[in-house]
């Protein structure tokens, strides 16, 4: 059933992701062309602009996909007899896959840009701020591709929370009460996740792990250092999740178990199809 839902929605998801990538590439080409024959300093600035566009989209697209997952018109699944549970699972799966795919593709393009733009001009690259090169695999190693599933996990967790709130709110009769219940759940969610992140962070610092999965740090409790990387810079991305951090994993699995149990006990609708 999850496969069927994925197949039904793949074209629209593909279109959205492709459009995002196309815009990034357009910006890259456009801005690059503007820098032909310019000084090194200016070229470095322009490179930062291009990376900034890429970085912006790495926030925008996952959020867009999340909003699309929440607000898309899907009553035809209900007509066809798909259970609400399966529908949610199908949407979640699609959200994960397309977010990860988009970000992976972005990182590949960012890396290509990194190579092409700075070809034969290492001085320019030297003047470009390392923080902007968040998505370049040249700067941070292939391991940074793990950022794709990590951000996908983040938006999926958000969707799961939306699902919990939706189920909680359905039973409540009055609108002001509905809003109150939703806010309470949201507050609990943020509090819980903040705690988990802090715990993950603390254990991570103790073991020299980082927020964003970097090749030269990260990993559960014992620091295992894979071979040669360039930067030791720790980057921050609000959608990144330390998915290789055991404390984080445990915390989130607990959350998912809670969500699953809650939804099943409260029930999505009074009379679901068997």
Partner 1 sequence: MREYAIGNIEKAYGKKGVLRGVSLRVPAGSFVGVLGLNGTGKTTLFNILGNMDRNFTGEVSLRGKEVAYMRTKLPFPEWRKVKDLLSFYERFYTFDRKKAERMLENTSIRPTARLRALSAGMQRQLNFICNFCVDAQVLLLDEPLTNLDLVFRGFIVESLIERAMEDRIILVATHEIKEFENLFTHVTVLRDGRLGPLTETEALRAQGKSVEDFYGESLL
Interacting residue ranges for partner 1, rule: CB under 8 A: 4, 7-8, 11, 73, 75-82, 84, 269-274
CB of 32 to partner 1, least distance (A): 34
- The alpha carbons of the chain give a radius of gyration, in whole angstroms, of 21
Comparing CB distances to partner 1, the nearer of 81 and 122 is 81
**What minimum distance in Å lies between the beta carbon of 260 and partner 1?**
19
**Structure tokens given for 272:** 């679901």
Which residue, 80 or 230, has its beta carbon nearer to partner 1?
A: 80
* 3-class secondary structure, 74: coil
Smallest gap from residue 43 Cβ to partner 1 (A): 42
> Do residues 95 and 152 touch, judged by C-beta distance below 8 A?
yes
User: For the chain, where are the alpha helices, taking DSSP H only?
Assistant: 2-34, 40-71, 75-79, 84-117, 122-127, 137-140, 147-170, 175-206, 246-266
Tell how far CA 244 is from the center of its chain: 15
- Closest to partner 1 by CB, 8 vs 203, is 8
Q: Shortest CA distance to 158 belongs to which of 84, 245, 91?
A: 91
**How far is residue 264 CA from its own chain's centroid?**
27
Contacts of residue 68, defined as CB under 8 A and 6 or more positions apart, other chains included, come to: 13, 16
Q: To the nearest whole angstrom, how small is the minimum distance from the Cβ of residue 51 to partner 1? A: 34
| Residue 39 CA neighbour count, 13 Å, CB half | 4
Nearer to partner 1, 48 or 84 (CB): 84
Task: Decide whether 77 or 197 has the Cβ nearer to partner 1.
Answer: 77
- The least CB distance from residue 174 to partner 1, in Å, is 11
Calpha distance 77→211 (Å, rounded): 38
Closer Cβ to partner 1, 30 or 267, answer by number: 267
Least separation in angstroms between CB 209 and partner 1: 43
């Amino acid at each position: 059933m999850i496969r069927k839902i994925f197949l039904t929605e793949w074209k629209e998801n593909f279109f959205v992701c492709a459009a995002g990538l196309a815009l990034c590439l357009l910006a890259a080409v456009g801005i690059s062309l503007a820098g032909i024959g310019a000084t090194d300093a200016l070229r470095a600035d322009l490179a930062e602009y291009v990376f900034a566009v890429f970085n912006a989209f790495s926030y925008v697209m996952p959020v867009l996909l999340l909003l699309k997952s929440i607000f898309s018109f899907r009553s035809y699944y209900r007509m066809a007899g798909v259970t609400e549970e399966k529908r949610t699972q199908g949407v979640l799966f699609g959200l994960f896959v397309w977010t990860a795919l988009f970000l992976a593709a972005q990182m590949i393009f960012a890396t290509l840009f990194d190579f092409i733009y700075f070809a034969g001009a290492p001085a320019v690259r030297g003047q470009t701020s390392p923080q902007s090169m968040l998505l370049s695999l040249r700067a941070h190693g292939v391991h940074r591709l793990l950022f794709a599933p990590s951000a996908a996990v983040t938006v999926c967790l958000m969707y799961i929370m939306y699902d919990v709130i939706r189920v909680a709110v359905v039973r409540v009769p009055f609108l002001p009460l509905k809003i109150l219940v939703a806010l309470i759940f949201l507050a609990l969610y943020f509090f819980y996740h903040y705690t988990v992140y802090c715990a993950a962070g603390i254990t991570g610092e103790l073991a020299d792990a980082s927020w964003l999965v970097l090749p030269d740090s990260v990993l559960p409790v014992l620091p295992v250092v894979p071979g040669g990387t360039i930067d030791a810079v720790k980057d921050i991305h609000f959608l990144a999740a330390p998915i290789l951090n055991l404390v984080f994993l445990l915390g989130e699995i607990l959350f998912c178990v809670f969500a699953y149990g809650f939804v099943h006990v409260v029930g999505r609708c009074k009379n679901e199809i068997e």
